[in-house]
Copies of this chain bind each other. A is one copy, B any other.
Amino acid sequence: MRKAAERRQELTEALVRAAETVIRREGLHALKARNLAKEVGCSLGAIYNVFPDMDALILRVNARTLADFGRTLERLNSASRKSAAKQANPAIDRLVQLAISYLDIAVKNRRRWRALFDHRMSKGRELPKWYRDAQAPLFLLVEEPLRQLRPKSSEKERTLLARSMFAAVHGVVSLGLDEKLMPVSTKVLCRQIKEIVSALGHGLLVTGKHQKD
């Protein structure tokens, strides 16, 4: 006879997989507890035996997405690092490459990517620490080249700057793909991202010169 813990683990995984499939195919808005229960063949109540609420389930899917995107970014990042020797400023080139890779990931995984940002915790609760910890490795990829552009910045300043850099790139990718502001092709969007991130990188070098040791 299988142990209860084992069955619980299996149900958890089945629910996460089923939820991810719905998000991949239709998007976060299509995710309903009732349909998930039908899909994995459990009762509605059984979902809430393994997850405290739908937020917890969605965060599990989103954390998988983060890990998946992180692996892709790291792979593309180390590939670009090898070819970066010929660049005038390898750190700026790395930031540009990361941003282009981010656009590529967003285009190829549109619904899972949107789910990362569209999900709101119910009742205005805060994101749990384990989820914030799952975000951290992706920001580390940005912090690394920033360390070269801003060697005098403190760890805390760099952490904040990496998040702001990401948010800026996310804004360009997000509004660009939404065609909210101006209908642009992915090719034009790619050029715009290069322009913005390259300017940001060069500018951080300039404004960093006024920083105290």
Contacts and interface: CB of A to CB of B under 8 A. Distances in A.
16 contacts: A117-B180, A163-B175, A163-B192, A164-B195, A167-B174, A168-B169, A168-B196, A198-B203, A199-B200, A199-B207, A201-B203, A202-B202, A202-B206, A203-B204, A203-B206, A206-B206
Given A202-B202, A203-B206, A204-B199, A168 B172 contact: yes
B160 A164 contact: no
Main SS class of interface, A = helix
A188 interface: yes
B171 A169 contact: yes
Interface residues of A, number: 41
What number of copies of this chain does the assembly contain? Answer: 2
Interface of A: 117, 126-127, 132, 135, 159-161, 163-172, 174-176, 179-184, 188, 192-193, 195-196, 198-204, 206-207
A181 B163 CA distance: 7
B192 A203 contact: no
A194 to B, nearest CB: 10
A85 to B, nearest CB: 21
